[in-house]
Structure 1
Amino acid sequence: MATHVKEYDLVLDSQKLQAESHFPGISYDDFDRGGRISPWKICRMFEAGRAIPFILGDFLDRSRLTSDKAGLFVLGGEYYFDSCLWDATRKYNFFPYKVTLEVINVGQSSLTFRQVLINKLDNKELATFYMKMVLVDLHTKRPIARPQWHQEKFRHLQGSQDDRVKVLLNAKLAVPEGAFQAETLVVPSDTDFNGHTNQASYVRFCLDAAEAANKAGFLQYVDGDICRYPILKISISYKGETTSGDRLFTSVWQDDLSPQVLNFATYRAEKLVLVVSITFKPKPKPRSVAKL
């Protein structure tokens, strides 16, 4: 494992079904050009909140489940952001936080999780991430069934709490004609220890494409830099993997019925590799002035 995980404070329940990873605070590099915590940094916070329990705590018996022949990969998920997240850094100059991790469903080859980012100063839930991972054969790149011992041990977790993720992963997509398109070259610093483009990097690619579309006059909803618009939700579905040196093309367009929703489709050559939907906080309606 090439990833380096520091000895952060980790709390695991006795069955390794729930975990809490504690972090001392945020840093200068966590902010974007608009002065808020950048959405891709929040994605990295959730990633750290998974890596620490898996690596330090052997969460879900990961060391036995994965090997040099099989690995766990994210299929997709949904991020929900509370409005207080974007104002937290203005209320607190510094705040420690924790990320909880809970298994909410298991399938033949998949595992579904719920993560919550919590401000430890006031115990407010700042963001939530529902995510599905799948066990993959590293040679064929195809999903494989979890070992029998793992299925038996966690059989009691089978249920239907992952319906929202299923709907997301099975959603159809049609890129409209005339959608704005942005080009991105994946560089080594965009990748993770598997050599694949990191989840947070994809979110940054999409938001960069959105601002490029905004500057080109394709977004009627946006007034000013898009980074100043708080995000309420990000839905993301991975259709393929990309690596350093790949040239990606991301189409971005506004939803016909809800202009505060931006849709994204990313391609490598002709292959679809990513589908994303980002919901921004609606602009406040101007107050009407009563006529005398």
Structure 2
Amino acid sequence: MILASYVIGNQYLFVPPGEGSKEPALDLVFIRGQSWEFLPGYYRHLAPGRGTTVTESLRHVGNTSWVSMEEIRDAPTNELMIRGILQRINVSATRRRPEPLPDWLRERYSYLTSSVPRPPTVQPFDAPTNVKCFRYSVVVAPNETDTNDHTFHASYLWYSMDCASLGARSGAYSLLRGNLAKYDLKMLEVLYQKESLEGDVLDVESWEDQDSPDTLRFQIKKGDENITQLTMQFYITTV
């Protein structure tokens, strides 16, 4: 899903002005946060060989970041299967700090700048102090890094899913128990806070949301540094 969004953005939405122009291209793009809703149609229609359609639309353009929405539909029925909201940041490749978007991009999408309300993006949450956490540790492997030598964004999802799977089997949660594969994922949110690299030891802390036992929250840490936060909500008929 992220790859489809990246390809659409690079090929259609963020192409700089014509050849010979001195206008700069985007320097280095990081994902700040992503949120995905998996609707019942996803589990009804997803099958090998079945067609889907992907729509990517810009919803807001800020000073250093932009927000896009992605929808994936079942091609034969046009039923919505997945809806996602992504926030990306333009970053300086040398300073590793947010960089203002090029003027040509802000001018091209001036109708989506600060005058347009920004769709809700992923926000940080506080870890509770009175909840027992299930913990899982992992060492970042070479095949889990990207071309920038960072831990690949999808790797954090697998670390958290592994943590949740072990926690469910060990009885760490009140509703999610046993084989986690029997529960369909309803919602996923990820907030990328800091970078990690090959060889780093990451500690994944997970706990059941106090107000919603069908929801697990995760804080991935490197020592005392917060690296990534995730939230996973599952379809549970008893909730």
TM over 0.5: yes
**What's the offset of the Cα at 1:152?**
2.0
**What's the offset of the Cα at 1:99?**
1.9
For 1:75-224, list aligned pairs within 5 A: 75-89=32-46, 92-158=47-113, 159-162=116-119, 164-165=120-121, 168-169=122-123, 171-176=124-129, 178-224=132-178
Match of 1:265 in 2: 219
d(CA) in 2 for partners of 1:193, 1:98? 28
Q: Is the 8 A contact 1:83 1:230 kept in 2?
A: no
Specify the SS of the correspondent of 1:260. strand
Specify the SS of the correspondent of 1:108. coil
Distance 1:118 1:195, change over 3 A: farther
Give ranges in structure 1 of 5+ residues lacking alignment. Answer: 1-45, 286-292
d(CA) in 2 for partners of 1:97, 1:196? 31
Specify the SS of the correspondent of 1:160. coil
**What's the offset of the Cα at 1:246?**
1.5
Specify the SS of the correspondent of 1:200. helix
**What's the offset of the Cα at 1:215?**
1.9
Specify the SS of the correspondent of 1:223. coil
Moved more, 187-196 or 106-115: 187-196
d(CA) in 2 for partners of 1:225, 1:65? 50
Cα root mean square deviation, aligned: 2.0
Q: Deviations over 1:239-266 (max 9, x none)?
A: 0112222211010000111100100000
- Structure with bigger helix share is 1
Match of 1:234 in 2: 188
Given candidates 42, 52, 57, the residue that maps to 2:7 is 52
d(CA) in 1 for partners of 2:163, 2:59? 33
Q: How many residues align?
A: 231
Instruction: Kindly report structure 1 stretches of 4+ aligned residues shifted beyond 6 Å.
Output: none
**What's the offset of the Cα at 1:196?**
2.0
d(CA) in 2 for partners of 1:110, 1:61? 16
**What's the offset of the Cα at 1:65?**
5.1
**What's the offset of the Cα at 1:62?**
5.7
1:214 partner letter: A
1:135 partner letter: N
1:72 partner letter: V
**What's the offset of the Cα at 1:194?**
2.3
**What's the offset of the Cα at 1:110?**
0.6
**What's the offset of the Cα at 1:200?**
2.1
d(CA) in 2 for partners of 1:194, 1:130? 24
1:271 partner letter: E
